[in-house]
Amino acid sequence: MTVRRDFQEPARCRPDLVIGRDELFTAARDQLGRGGSVLLHGPAGIGKSTVLRSLTADYARAARTVLRCSATESESHLPFLALADLLGQVLHRVSDKLPAAQSTALESALTGRGESTLQRDGLALRLAVLSALRALAVDGPVLVVADDVQWLDSASAELLGFAARRLGDTPVQLLAAVRTDGQEYDRHLRAAPPDTLAVRLGALSRAQVSALLENRGYTGLPRSTVRDIHRTSGGNPLFALELGRALAENPTPPRPGEPLPVPTSLRALVLSRLEMLSAEARHTLLVASAGARPTLALLRAAGRENAEAETARAAELGLLATEPEGPAVRFAHPLISAALYAEAPAHERRAAHAALSTAASDPIERARHLALATAGTDPGVAARLAGAAALARDRGAPSVAASLMLLSARHTPANGAPGPDERRLQAAEDAIMAGEVDLARDIAREVLTRATVPADRVRAWMVVIEAAGQALGEVDAVFPQVLADAGDDPRLLALVHYQLAWRALVVEGDFAEGREEAAHAAELAARGGDRRTELLALAFQAQAETLMGHPDAPATIKRALKEPQDPQVACHHNGAGSTRLRWLLMGDQLSEARSTVTALLREVRRRGMVESEVHFLRMLAEAELRSGHCGRALDLSRESLRLARDSGIGEVASAVLTSLAEASGGDVQRGLALAEEAVRHAEDDGDQIYMSRALAALGYVQLVAGDAPGTVRSLRRVRELEHGLGVTDPARGRWHGDLAEALVLIGEPDEARDLIEVTREQALRLGRESTLAVLDRGEALLRAARGEHDAACAQLTSVQDRLAKLGCGLEEARTAFALARLRTRRPGPTSYDEAARLFRRCRALPWLRQVDAAIASGAAEPAVPAPAPVVPDALEGLASMERQVAALVMEGATNREIAGRLFISVKTVEATLTRVYRKLGIRSRVDIVRLAAARHAR
């Protein structure tokens, strides 16, 4: 299934909003905060002015004086113009503080009265600018803001450079932006203060371009279009916005295989040097722009006999990038290619494609060029395109296959067999596989407006449902329509009931109903001879039974793996291979799980199955995390999340796994933010399945962060949700041990004991060894809470050994840490050596920080003090943890001291005291001390 949701809050529509520049913005802000200067540089349109405005807004308030100038090319020949912008408004503040000669020269230069020139008054003017800046700085810091420094008139640039090099410790800072290509900012840096930081602005990522377009109001663009905008703009913000505007204003979108429409403003910007080429050279570049991977050999084969000389001339003019190695012909910027193609008349484009249709060596390229060279319908061209699409599909390029099938549909006659709509539906299914769900949904909706054949309509409805992803509630109204279209055809009904199984699981949160729908779908598919749908339905049934702890699960998995197999289903994320992988992970067969998922990931990448790639990256990350390879898990989960965000597929699931990996081996606060986002989005989608997963992740992150009450709140909700779902296998979410530990920490031992007993019974029935070991760790903590420290330590030692044999590295390390905390002797630094070693081996950095904190605290007591403090009768009604905290308060311990002695967070101490106050009917620590005094008085 797919998810169409970005894990970002929508940006406000502000033209000065900085997007995708966090790191460089931080570097520039830090530099300015230290009193230094900043030079922003990069190519035209890259966003320098936007960053400059934002930084100025941040730091203008800290300066006593802000001097601004913004140069333009048309005015760069006017001497002293930039200097007049900077100092013209403050001349009255400094003129009487300058020597007469300097004051006269400066006033003459700024006002234009007199004949001041650098040649005539050079020294006086230079010293005047330096003195003026020093005089302004006497009143407070001065910030000089200069945009488009490349257009500064030469006189102003010389004067400012002279002053900047001599300001020394004077509190004058420069914040400037200059247009550069490559590293040519050096000469501008030499004219800046010595402490200037050069910050280069680079291209935006695809996700950042998408956020920029959304921010400027270009909403609802398909992800495939955003991808094309990113590719054509080269990540340049200005170019991307202009392309977005052109698309918004163009009622007819580009046809498949054609570049984006390039607005006149950008054509003029990038093609100004084209007029310097001959007509023949321009035609050669047009052929290159029409080719997917142009080379000199390809251009010569397409009839461009002088291609080498013509491309060399284009490279001299900056239209082509020089390639010292290799035969490729590459444009200096993707926009040049797009603009050149857009500028050419239609007949010249067709001629270029016609030449390439015979010159290209790849059959897919030949078919594409033939289609773009042909006007109107042509059955032969349509058939060649369909064959090329099949070849692209086999090569693992479903996105290319979708584009080719759309071209094939355009050239297919209305009465053709197969018809144009059948080919459009194949394109939609290819788009789904490629992760282009917006394109797929749009194609299917278009087909539904005119299709009358039941098979075509059901097929189109299936695409619409697939494109909805986990948000199946949004397409609830579709199911009655598709059932009506399916009639009594078992093949069509099998497709519908398979999707109804997903609906039961995701929308209704009912595993039992989902299992029944899947079994019915498998039966219908078998009756209709649809092996692919039968295998998918059996895989769903097996996965539901696995998570339910149903005894038939192993048998159903065997049925799903039985030959004959469909090659695509075998590696599909909803296929039997994935179900078996989940079974291996739940059964603690981690080594086999890693090798299995690695093979699956390799295959789906070969086939270009984006959604399955996202899924198996997550699964591999989970296997690595379970094995204690936290660094590797973090890298994989982040890769999965990046791909999910880029494609709009599986974002909630990837965020859940990444939050776990961040809390185990990365940034706990980042993990917390991701888990909270996942919970919100699962709630918005009405997704019961990932709601429980997201809450389980949130509970774990809260535990790592030291928020035991938060963990209890989150995991109690998981317990309720899984009970409603019918999930009985504790290996599904593995949250039970975390809840038990948190319950002990907040003083709820009875609930912890009940949880352990119920879960242990289920784990014993299913043979979940690692789950049993973690439950035993929780039981050891319970024993310690009762003062049975020797027994607790012995049990933890056994648990650690069992987890080590299972290969559960992180849980092994957590157990060693718990054991170190419960030692009866005064710990000292060395008692944590084993836990620290194991956490380092796992690269579990957040857990290592907890070990460091425990060592630094020098805490002498075990997690639950032994012997426990004497508890007065007034505290007997409190829970165990509450009594211990209250008793320590009576002894005069501070919250921090209590946290250190009980090995809990200060926040947990505060929360526990709040409950104590409420239960005892008192208001403060003072009242607890009074209880102690009353006991001594007796």
- pLDDT, residue 900, reads 63
pLDDT one-digit tens code per residue, 251-272 = 666 665 567 777 777 777 777 7
Banded model confidence at residue 33, pLDDT cuts 50, 70, 90: confident
Contact yes or no for 371/335 (Cβ under 8 A): no
For residue 738, give both structure tokens: 């975390």
Written as one letter, the residue type at 467 is A
Residue 876 confidence (pLDDT): 60
Per-residue pLDDT for 937 more than 80? no
pLDDT score of 264 = 76
List, for residues 211-244, the tens digit of each pLDDT value. 888 888 887 777 778 888 888 888 888 888 888 8
Question: In the chain, pLDDT over 70 holds for what percent of residues?
Answer: 89
Q: What is the reported pLDDT for 184?
A: 63
Q: Using 50, 70 and 90 to split pLDDT, how confident is the model at 868?
A: very low
Residues written for the chain:
938
Q: Is the pLDDT of residue 155 over 60?
A: yes
Note the pLDDT of residue 299.
93
> pLDDT > 90: what percent of the chain?
38
With CA atoms as reference, report the closest residue to 812 among 892, 737, 922, 736: 737
Amino acid at position 447, single letter: V
> Is the predicted pLDDT of residue 353 greater than 50, yes or no?
yes
What is the per-residue pLDDT for 631? 92
**449-461: pLDDT as tens digits:** 999 999 999 999 9
Residue 370 Rama label (left phi>0; alpha psi -120 to 50; beta): alpha
pLDDT for 527 equals 95
Q: How confident is the model at residue 175 (pLDDT cuts 50, 70, 90)?
A: very high
- Are residues 660 and 698 in contact, defined by beta-carbon separation less than 8 angstroms? no
Q: Which of 861, 925, 934, 915 is nearest to 889 (CA)?
A: 925
Q: What does the pLDDT look like over 762-771, one tens digit per residue?
A: 999 989 999 9
Asked if the model's pLDDT at residue 555 lies above 60, the reply is yes
Q: Indicate the pLDDT class of residue 304, thresholds 50, 70 and 90.
A: very high
Location of structure tokens 């769900």 = 437
Pick from 29-33, 103-107, 877-881: least confident? 877-881
CB 247 within 8 A of CB 253: yes
Asked if pLDDT for residue 712 goes beyond 90, the answer is: yes
Sheet holding 65-70, edge to edge: 65-70, 142-147, 172-179, 37-42, 196-200
The residue among 810, 667, 807 whose CA lies nearest residue 738 is 810
Q: Does 740 have pLDDT greater than 90?
A: yes
Give the list of residues 6+ apart from residue 430 with CB closer than 8 angstroms, or none: 389, 393, 398, 399, 401, 402, 405
Check pLDDT > 80 for residue 324. no
pLDDT band at 17 (very low <50, low <70, confident <90, very high): low
d(CA 281, CA 411) in angstroms, rounded, equals 32
Do 295 and 330 touch, CB atoms closer than 8 A?
A: no
Among 22-26, 362-366, 375-379, the least confident range: 22-26
Quickly count: other Cβ atoms within 10 Å of residue 858's Cβ: 11
Categorize the per-residue pLDDT at 625 as very low, low, confident or very high, splitting at 50, 70 and 90.
very high
Q: Which residues contact 485 (CB under 8 A, 6 or more apart)?
A: 454, 457, 458, 461, 492
Which tens digit of pLDDT belongs to each residue from 643-700?
888 777 788 899 999 999 999 999 999 999 999 999 988 888 777 778 899 999 999 9
- Give the pLDDT mean for 861-876: 43
pLDDT reported for residue 26: 82
pLDDT band at 6 (very low <50, low <70, confident <90, very high): very low
In whole angstroms, what is the distance from residue 901 CA to residue 241 CA?
A: 59
Is the model's pLDDT at 938 over the cut of 60?
no
Return the half-sphere exposure (C-beta side, CA atoms, 13 A cut-off) of residue 488. 0
> With the C-alpha atoms ordered 439, 483, 504, 524, is the resulting torsion angle positive or negative?
negative
**pLDDT above 80: residue 249:** no
Residue 890: band (very low, low, confident or very high) from pLDDT cuts 50, 70, 90 = confident
**Range 512-523 average pLDDT:** 93
- 38-52, 164-178, 620-634 — which one is most confidently predicted on average? 620-634
pLDDT value at residue 3:
32
Chain mean pLDDT for the chain: 84
DSSP readout, 759-815? HHHHHHHHT-HHHHHHHHHHHHHHHHHTT-HHHHHHHHHHHHHHHHHHT-HHHHHHH
Which tokens hold the place of 227?
Answer: 């991808």
Does the structure show a pLDDT above 90 at 752?
Answer: yes
Phi-psi region of 616 (alpha: psi -120 to 50; beta: other; left: phi over 0): alpha
Tokens read off for 113? 């009265």
Mean pLDDT, residues 720-746: 90
- Is residue 390 packed enough to be buried (19+ CB in 10 Å), middle (13-18) or exposed (0-12)? middle
**Mean pLDDT, to the nearest integer, of 314-341?**
78
- Residue 824 in this model has a pLDDT that exceeds 50: no
pLDDT of residue 702: 95
pLDDT at 9 over 80: no
Instruction: Please tell me the predicted confidence (pLDDT) of residue 113.
Output: 62
What pLDDT score was predicted for residue 698? 96
Predicted local distance difference test score (pLDDT) of residue 24: 83
Rounded Cα distance, 764 and 206, in Å: 48
| Tens digit of each residue's pLDDT (9 = 90 or more) over 837-850 | 999 999 999 999 99
340-351 residue pLDDT tens: 888 889 899 999
Strands (E), 458-554: none
CB-side neighbour CA atoms (13 Å) of 791:
12
